[in-house]
Amino acid sequence: MKLSETLYTQLTDRQMSIDKRLDLTEQYWHVDSKQMIFDWLSGLVINRKKSGLDSVELVHRVWRQLVCCLQNLSNDQVSIKSSFIKALTDTLDNESGESNHSAVECCLLIGKQGKELDYKYEQLVELLRIVLNKYKEHEEFLTMILNKYWTTVRVQGNINKRLALWTLNPATPVQIWRSALWTLNPATPVQIWRLALWTLNPATPVQIWRLALWTLNPATPVQIWRLALWTLNPATPVQIWVFLDLCKQLLAPLLEIRTIYPSLSVLIDDILKYIAFHRTWSTAYRDYIQSLSANKTISCPVSILFTTIESLVISGNSHVVNFLPLVFRHCINLIDSEKTSEVFELLSQMNHWLEQISNDNLYIDGIRQLLEILDEKHLIDQLLNDTLTERITNWMKDILFKRQIASKSENYARLCIVCLHLHPTLIEANLSELIKDFLNSKQSLTVFLNGYIDLYAHMRSLAKLPKRLTMAFDQSVLLPSNVTTHYRKRISECTHTLVDEIWSSLLDQLENSKKHLIVIQLIGALLDGYRLFDLNIPRATLIQQTQSKYDRTLEKLRQQVNENMLTSPDSSHRVCLLQCYLSLGWFSLCLLSFSSNTPPVDDILNHNGLLLSHSQWAALQTDSDLHPILFSLACQRLYRSLAVDEKTIDPSLVENLVDLSSFSSTTVFDQLEPFFDFLSKSKQMKLIKLFIKQIIDHPNQNRAWFITDESRLRLVVQATIEHVIETNAHDDSQARKRRKIDWEENNDDSFYDFLSTKFCTIDGKILSIFSSINFEVIQTPAILISIGWLALKTSPTSLESMQILLDITRSTKVLPKSFMSHLLDFTLTTNNEQMIDGVLAILSTNSTYQSVVKTKANAIIEKMKSEEDSQNIRLLEKHLLLFHHSRKLISSNDLCSVIDRLLNSPSHSSISYSTLDTRYVLATIILNGLTSYEKYLKFLQQTWKSLIRDMNESNEFKQVVIAYVKQWEHVLKSQSTIEDIDALVKCLNDRHELISKVTQSMELTQFQQWIENSIQHIKIPLNDHEDDIQNCHQALLLLQTLARCSLSKELNAYLMTVIDSVITQCGPLLIHLPHEFSRYSQVASFILTFSNDIVAAKKSQLRSQVALSLLQCCLHLPANIFFVNHSNICKLVSLLIKHHTTTLCKHVPTIETILKLLLQSIVSQAKENQATNEELIEAARDMTKLSAHLIEQCKEDFRSTIVYVLIDYVHLLSKGVYISAGLKKTLNGVAFELFRISGERVEQYSGQMSIGERELLKQLHQQFKQYHMFKGAV
């Protein structure tokens, strides 16, 4: 018997359990029986009861197997029955849980395989309805089903929908038609009757259709058959069905999805336009619109669409409200130009629907969109010229004022603007009422006034606007800033003649109206928007025409100051006037640029013309609300002073400007930037020097500088040096010898020599100007030299100056050796070891500057030849790094002679002249400063023995020890003992590369003896004595340190054996440690830290059983210690899961117990208030990370039992412990990660739980499924 026949026999054998038969499908799937297996599996879900799927778990398994089958289809494909599609649809609609997810996966896999399924049209519509309503969050699923629906509607048509009536001959007598139709059951749904009619032979004369209809059951409503006949279009046999399904089931969900997923909007728009706006229904749309004009109801195919839209709009469906304008636009495109009244009837009908919405904003938004289409189509003029004028006016008035809208929102303002464009007379008549409504909302008033300005600008009537506004406002108010900005933009678009007319109109209103603030603001906006430079008119004519208006404006402002400004309690009024005065100033500066002769400013405060007395200006500075505008005026004064051809700039201008700058949102330099490059070089230098002085005198001021490129930097540096030389030179005779600094000369040595002659002490505040510069990109050496000279002369020395010098040394530009020599001298006096080392490392490796280092080292050696021993010791200690970096550059003979002299001194071993013992200084200089030290070998070895005795845990001797380690192989390898190495490792426990250098030179026997001597202090039980605990800790620290060092293969193998043994003892050590042990927490902490470091360093090198024993350690910790070490425990478990996954997955209960203990410790600490909320949240975050590692590494192993951890967590929460909102959110995050592992097993759990606990678990799971389940997926 063939294999396929045998398999079929076994699959259909009801004596065999379904589980075993499912096992067979898994076993034989890859054999050539895929179609048979898939048919049998799909048959199980199609006939579930008959197949014997009597448990939920069996159903889930069948679905999982179907998913597996579809996943493993390569090029071979199986045919899929439509009955299976129905089973899929039923599962998606009626079931939840794992079966539901598998059904979704099946659909997606079918789509990815490109399988063209033979959907029945009804099944496809039903599937789309389910997906739209229940799977909104699944974008991929939505996209696939929508594409299938779109393809089916466009290409496949209404498949297999022909009934037997199609076979009737058109010549058949009426009695036979009657007999055929009469046999249809009157109880049959209306759709079937329609279908029956639709499938009649299209060639049949209409009279026969009508006759057949009349002979139907008299009880059938006539409207149904009339609709059926009305929609008869033989050329499109599918459209009516698709259209009806869209209207009844799919319209609202499709529009909602269109809003949720913008990426699907194009596809959904295509579907809606193809179905709802298909050319088939053009006549029906026209008939529907005509019925509105005739005020009578008729039946037509699109009636169902409008009925659906009406009900959805009235219910407040925002998606359908936003779809309504598309319908309206489509309809008015079908209306003949002679029948524009039908547009209004349609608009009235849609407004009637919208009026029944309770949400004001939604209603306003809907009717506004309809009116915007009316405006766009320019139909309102035709309607207003018709007999409908009065009706339209009243209707639009009802829209605006009849509905009692609680708050006049921005939407309402936009609606008013649309009505303004459609019916200006209506809005003008009610302008005061509208503005009164908008005064309480700044945004709404801004929207309305901007639209109002746009209308007048469009009509070229901006000159009439001031009068209309002053009449509309009840009182003088400040307009929103966005309104004046918009007005300024419209002014900038006007011609000179029109602006001139508008300015005159504003001045007239300033004289005749009491709404002065409105007019003053508009004048300021007009002056700001006046495009003087773009006007193609003679300059003399421009100055003549504008000068009189300028003077008149200034006079009116001065009048307002005397009448209102000084007496008003509101500072905003004064701001308004000063802002207009500022605008006058900018306008005046533009006019001055047209004149060849710029008059000087007589009154420095009233720089734009007389406005206030000096005492009044001084009084204004006490009002903090005026500081920003006063700052802007101060900037303007400086601009005006710079524009006038004067030899000097008044320093008081800059001083006043800087004083006010702290009250402005912009800096002085931001204000100067646009004008700075247009100034002459001398004025630029003068201005920069003034600001440098202000920076020094005002340390709290913003020090930002407008350095945009190297040329600007050059200017700033040059001005800074000249300022320093002029103001800070100590020698009066030198100060008078002025020399122009030539930046173009190529002799950098000469330039630095000139700077070196200046004996200056520079304030460090100046360096803040250059602290953010990238010195590597500077191409001019003179700039680097100058900034470096400033840093060298700074007093007191700061980290900022040292960092600048270090950055300069890194530059690739060649700088004078004299400068680098001074820089080196300065560096050596700083006592900043990091900077000294950095500078010396750069200079000693750069061939250009090596001579500087060599000269300095030789100079110190020469000095030591004539100094006393005590002074030489100090010099050697101070210049250890210098001699280290220069040892290959200088001759060692001279240095050796100094060292020999000190070694032969009778006092060197007993008297210390420095912070270190003299011997240690000499040893360090020998090891670091000489290339050969054989003659000092005995001294070095003796000194090492002393160093071992003196060494402690401080860093005092660390540099000496490092010097020895670097030369270990040559100095101490043959003489070292275990005690030497042990002391060295304790001193350098964080320098693993140095320790590795020492250990690699050890023999295996010596290494073993060293380790054994150390680990003997790890005792069980551990005594409660400080020495015992300290020795145990030191032994573990030694193993931690060695674990991170590079060892030879033999040493590493031995070390791993020792580590495995020690870790195995950690559990018993904690077990035998009494909880009342005074240092229990300390011991537990360093054991866990040791374990973490070992696992992190050695990873999978640990034996699996040893790794498991680490988990056992955690189980013996008391609750309070558990919480204190939560971070160590979570990190340890995560590391073990990562590096020992296989072993850990075999001991799931142990890890779950640790998770439970961690949760219990957090809740317990929260209950007893023994930890801060931040500490509790941090512990919960550690658990979240641990849970994420479980998902990543061994999710399947924990799936069946992790639910018990969740139940334990719910049990803890049900005890009524108060938990802060932040902690609860974080703990729930842990639960959500565990839900990802458990899958649907939480819902299937039927163990014992209280009602409250079960409800709490259900709520948590619902939150997970709703908000977190698909997070990061797809």
CA 946 and chain centroid, separation? 59
Alpha helices in 380-480 (DSSP H): 380-384, 389-397, 410-422, 424-429, 431-438, 442-458, 465-472
Q: Are residues 70 and 169 in the same domain?
A: no
Q: Are residues 102 and 26 in the same domain?
A: yes
Which of 674, 695, 716 corresponds to the end of one domain? 695
Which DSSP letter does residue 934 get?
G
Q: Are residues 97 and 168 in the same domain?
A: no
Q: Are residues 61 and 170 in the same domain?
A: no
The Cβ-side half-sphere exposure at 835, using a 13 Å CA radius, reads 23
Which of 672, 695, 718 corresponds to the end of one domain? 695
Tell whether pTM > 0.75. no
Distance between CA 923 and CA 920 in Å, rounded?
Answer: 5
Residue 722 lies in a domain: no
Q: What is the pLDDT of residue 487?
A: 93
The alpha carbons of the chain give a radius of gyration, in whole angstroms, of: 46
Residue 678 lies in a domain: yes
Distance between CA 109 and CA 597 in Å, rounded?
Answer: 83
Phi then psi for residue 74, to 5 deg, are -95, -110
Q: Are residues 206 and 91 in the same domain?
A: no
Buried b (16+ CB within 10 A) or exposed e, 526-552: bbbbbebeeeeeeeeebeeebeebbee
Q: What is the pLDDT of residue 201?
A: 44
Q: What is the pLDDT of residue 453?
A: 92
Helix (H) or strand (E) holding 732: helix 732-736
> Which residues have C-beta within 8 Å of that of residue 430, sequence separation ≥ 6?
400, 401
| Amino acid, res. 927 | L
Terminal-residue alpha carbon distance, the chain: 46
Residue 1019 lies in a domain: no
Of 197, 199, 195, which Cα lies nearest the Cα of 213?
197
Q: Are residues 97 and 14 in the same domain?
A: yes
Which residue shows structure tokens 């609860």?
1224
Of 171, 176, 118, which Cα lies nearest the Cα of 148?
118
> Please, is 459 exposed, middle or buried when counting C-beta atoms within 10 Å of its C-beta (0-12, 13-18, 19+)?
exposed
Distance between CA 1022 and CA 1008 in Å, rounded?
Answer: 23
Q: What is the pLDDT of residue 486?
A: 93
Q: What is the pLDDT of residue 1270?
A: 57
Q: Are residues 1243 and 1122 in the same domain?
A: yes
Q: What is the pLDDT of residue 195?
A: 44
Q: How many CB atoms lie within 10 A of CB 652?
A: 10
Residue 1131 lies in a domain: yes
Dihedral of CA 725/730/736/737: which sign?
A: negative
827, 838 contact by CB (below 8 A) = no
Q: Are residues 603 and 682 in the same domain?
A: yes
Residue 1199 lies in a domain: yes
Of 787, 776, 860, which Cα lies nearest the Cα of 825?
860
Strand-strand pairing, 762-763 and 794-795: parallel
Residue 1017 lies in a domain: no
Which of 99, 118, 137 corresponds to the end of one domain? 118
Alpha helices in 866-917 (DSSP H): 869-878, 880-886, 892-904
Q: What is the pLDDT of residue 661?
A: 60
Mean pLDDT per 10-residue section of the chain, whose length is 1274 residues: 65 75 73 75 78 76 81 68 80 78 81 59 78 82 82 58 33 40 41 44 43 44 40 45 75 83 85 82 84 74 84 88 89 83 87 88 89 85 76 86 75 89 86 86 90 89 89 86 92 87 90 85 90 69 80 86 73 86 84 63 74 80 81 79 63 66 58 67 75 65 62 82 72 46 63 78 76 82 86 81 86 86 86 82 86 86 77 76 78 75 60 58 76 76 76 68 77 73 76 78 82 81 78 83 84 85 79 72 81 80 75 73 80 82 80 83 80 83 81 74 79 76 82 76 63 78 70 44
Of 794, 787, 859, which Cα lies nearest the Cα of 821?
859
Q: Are residues 29 and 100 in the same domain?
A: yes
Residue 1133 lies in a domain: yes
Helix (H) or strand (E) holding 762: strand 762-763
| Amino acid, res. 93 | D
Q: Are residues 100 and 168 in the same domain?
A: no
Two tokens, residue 675: 């004008």
Distance between CA 146 and CA 149 in Å, rounded?
Answer: 5
Q: Are residues 103 and 171 in the same domain?
A: no
Residue 101 lies in a domain: yes
524, 579 contact by CB (below 8 A) = yes
Q: Are residues 1162 and 1244 in the same domain?
A: yes
75, 34 contact by CB (below 8 A) = no
**Total number of domains in the chain:** 4
449, 483 contact by CB (below 8 A) = yes
Which residue shows structure tokens 């050697």?
876
What domain range includes position 614? 598-695
CA 1090 and chain centroid, separation? 38
> Which residues have C-beta within 8 Å of that of residue 97, sequence separation ≥ 6?
56, 60, 1240, 1243
